[in-house]
Every structure is written in structure tokens, then in C-alpha cells.
């Protein structure tokens, strides 16, 4: 049976095995998919052991996405732009790195939330690893522009400069965000994990789609968006399942259905 896995530290919480098992049941592809806890300093060693043991591919989650980028021998264009890898496949003994996070978000917006990106003004808050992964796939969809705000402005300015070659993107500090409404607000900070949110002007999200990359609970940002007249509010569960479907396709060349798996997790975990 072909072996797949997800590597992370911690990894216990990962929904990836359940998601990939659902996809494989639907498409009749036999596989095993494990959670592998890699010691922080030993990602390459753990990954090599898995490959030597017959592993055909694996996902990579925090904190190893940049190490997986360096570990890859070939990169897809999304992985190369993101500087991070969340999916690896071993093909003819070559280790190929891909990043499906950004296209997963785009698919969730377009397919599941019926939101077109072309011509829209998008504000992304946060300039960490997740933002690096989503910028190119969003810019590839021709938004009017992307505004990139971060607590540490140097990071958003640097990222915006790097991604200007893919489309219109402008970086600045959190305190420079205007109260003027935009079409889509994406919370790509890790503040939701601590149950907090950045200080944002309320007018910003009036009539907007507000999207928190975090999933698993209703975040402060989601509550704030409802209270400030957002048109639609979403967590990042759809992105998680969509990125998994793209990884599945990268390995097996088949596209699973995602709506049933999203619904299954929402029902099971009451999300
Ligand atoms: P990083 O640690 O790389 O970046 C964190 C970012 O959040 C930085 O820009 C940081 O600002 C900012 N930040 C943290 N706390 C605060 C705060 N209190 N106020 C303002 N800004 C803050 O994290 P990632 O980019 O990897 O992850 C971000 C989020 O995306 C997480 O919630 C993660 O779970 C989620 N995610 C979801 C995925 C999905 O499939 N749904 C996939 C990948 C990520 P500064 O630079 O100033 O420190």
C-alpha cells in the first residue's frame, strides 16, 4: 500500500489523515496516511527515513514549511514564489516541492463561498508564512489590488516589494489601515490562536467578506466582523480541505470532492 503522511511538531491535532482517508474512500484509492512527529532539529532526517521506507509523498505543517522548501530538489511555481512547501512528492527518485495553501484559499473563496477575486480590493492582515503562500495565487486571479498590513511594517513592505512582479500589492503598518471599506478582509495573523485580534477600524469590513485563516473555533476576528456589518464571515476550514484536495491531486492525479468533507468536519466538531 502506498504510504503518505503529514509531518509537524506538534502534530496530534492534525485533521489531514482523516481528510485524506475520506478522499481515498471516495475515489477508491488504497493508501496509508500517518501523522509523523518530527523532532524540531531533525526534519530532513525524519523525511529521509520516511522516503527510504517507501513513502511516496507527504504534507508539511508548522514549523517545517521552509525546511521542506530547502529539502526539495525541484519546486513548482507556487512553492518557489512562497518560499515554503506544504506538499512533497517523490517521483522517479526526485523530491518535488509544491505549496497548495494559496490555491486552497482561492478555491474555498471561489467554489465554496461564491466569491470572485478579479477586480476586488483585498486587505490581508499579517505578513508571516501563510501570507507568503497566499499572495501569488490571489494575485494570479487579478484583484484590483492587495493591501498588506502588518504589526511589523518592515515585513509587509518587504513582502509587497517581492510580490509586485505578480500584481498590484502595497505593504504598510497596521496603524495605517484606513476605516474605508474594502471587498475582502483576510486575517492571516496568528493572533486568533491566542484568542485575540489586531486593533482594526470597524468601518473597514462593512459589506465585506471577512475570512480568518484559522479554523476550529469562532475567532475574535470573526465575532468582530459580524458585529461590524460584514457581508459574509468565514473561518479557514474550507482552505484546509481545499489545500488537502490539491495535495491529493498532486500525488494521485485525481480531484476529490471537498464539500462533503467540509460538512463532515463541521458536523463532527460542531463548527
Ligand atoms: P506566522 O507566525 O508566520 O506569522 C504570524 C503573523 O501574525 C505575523 O505577521 C505577526 O506579526 C502577526 N501577529 C501575531 N500576533 C499578532 C497580534 N496580536 N496582532 C497583530 N499581528 C499579529 O504564522 P502563519 O503565517 O504561519 O499563520 C498565520 C495563521 O494562518 C495561523 O492562524 C494559522 O493557523 C493559519 N493558517 C491556516 C491555514 C489553513 O489551511 N486554513 C494554512 C496555514 C496557516 P509580526 O510580523 O509583527 O510578528
Task: Check if 239 has its Cβ closer than 6 Å to any atom of ligand 1.
Answer: yes
Region 232-255: what's the mean pLDDT? 98
Q: Of 25, 35, 56, 65, which is the active-site residue?
A: 65
CB atoms within 10 A of CB 12: 8
pLDDT band at 190, cuts 50/70/90? very high
* Mutation probe of ligand 1 site: the residue of 6, 67, 107, 128 with most atoms within 8 A of C-beta: 128
32, 86 Cβ separation under 8 angstroms: no
Give the Å distance between the CA of 252 and the centre of ligand 1: 30
Residue nearest to atom 16 of ligand 1 (CA): 191
Query: What are phi and psi for residue 108, nearest 5 degrees?
Result: -65, -45
pLDDT tens digits, 56-94: 999 999 999 999 999 999 999 999 999 999 999 999 999
Task: Check if 171 has its Cβ closer than 6 Å to any atom of ligand 1.
Answer: no
* Mutation probe of ligand 1 site: the residue of 19, 189, 266 with most atoms within 8 A of C-beta: 189
Bridge partners of residue 172, in order along the sequence: 149
**Who's near 175: CB < 8 A, 6+ residues apart?**
none
Q: What is the mean pLDDT of the chain?
A: 96
Q: CA-to-CA distance for 179 and 203, rounded, in angstroms?
A: 5
What pLDDT, on a 0 to 100 scale, did the predictor assign at position 270? 67
Task: Check if 105 has its Cβ closer than 6 Å to any atom of ligand 1.
Answer: no
CB atoms within 10 A of CB 13: 9
Give the Å distance between the CA of 253 and the centre of ligand 1: 31
Give the Å distance between the CA of 266 and the centre of ligand 1: 23
Would residue 141 show up in a list of annotated catalytic residues for this protein? no
What cell was used for 119?
477586480
DSSP notation for 223-269? HHHHHTT-SEEE-SHHHHHHHHHHHHHHHHS-----HHHHHHHHHHH
What pLDDT, on a 0 to 100 scale, did the predictor assign at position 202? 84
What cell was used for 105?
484559499
Residue nearest to atom 37 of ligand 1 (CA): 213
Amino acid at each position: 500500500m502506498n504510504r503518505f503522511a503529514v509531518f509537524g511538531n506538534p502534530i496530534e491535532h492534525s485533521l489531514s489523515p482523516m481528510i485524506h482517508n475520506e478522499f481515498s474512500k471516495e475515489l477508491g484509492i488504497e493508501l496509508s496516511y500517518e501523522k509523523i512527529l518530527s523532532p524540531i532539529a531533525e526534519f530532513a532526517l525524519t523525511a529521509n527515513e520516511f522516503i527510504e521506507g517507501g513513502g511516496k509523498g507527504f504534507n508539511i505543517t508548522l514549523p517545517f514549511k521552509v525546511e521542506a522548501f530547502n529539502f526539495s530538489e525541484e519546486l513548482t511555481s507556487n512553492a518557489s514564489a512562497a518560499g515554503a512547501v506544504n506538499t512533497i512528492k517523490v517521483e522517479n527518485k526526485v523530491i518535488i516541492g509544491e505549496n497548495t495553501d494559496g490555491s486552497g484559499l482561492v478555491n474555498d473563496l471561489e467554489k465554496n463561498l461564491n466569491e470572485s477575486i478579479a477586480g476586488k480590493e483585498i486587505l490581508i492582515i499579517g505578513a508571516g508564512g501563510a501570507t507568503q503562500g497566499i499572495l501569488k495565487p490571489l494575485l494570479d486571479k487579478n484583484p484590483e489590488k492587495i493591501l498588506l498590513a502588518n504589526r511589523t511594517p518592515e515585513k509587509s513592505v518587504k513582502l509587497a516589494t517581492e510580490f509586485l512582479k505578480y500584481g498590484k500589492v502595497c505593504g504598510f503598518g497596521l496603524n495605517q489601515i484606513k476605516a474605508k471599506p474594502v471587498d475582502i478582509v483576510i486575517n492571516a495573523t496568528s493572533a486568533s490562536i491566542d484568542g485575540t485580534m489586531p486593533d482594526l477600524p470597524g468601518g473597514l469590513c462593512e459589506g465585506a467578506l471577512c475570512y480568518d485563516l484559522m479554523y476550529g473555533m469562532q475567532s475574535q476576528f470573526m465575532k468582530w466582523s459580524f458585529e461590524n456589518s460584514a457581508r459574509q464571515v468565514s473561518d479557514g476550514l474550507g482552505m484546509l480541505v481545499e489545500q488537502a484536495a490539491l495535495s491529493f491531486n498532486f500525488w494521485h492525479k485525481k480531484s476529490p470532492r471537498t464539500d462533503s468533507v467540509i460538512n463532515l468536519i463541521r458536523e463532527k466538531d460542531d463548527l
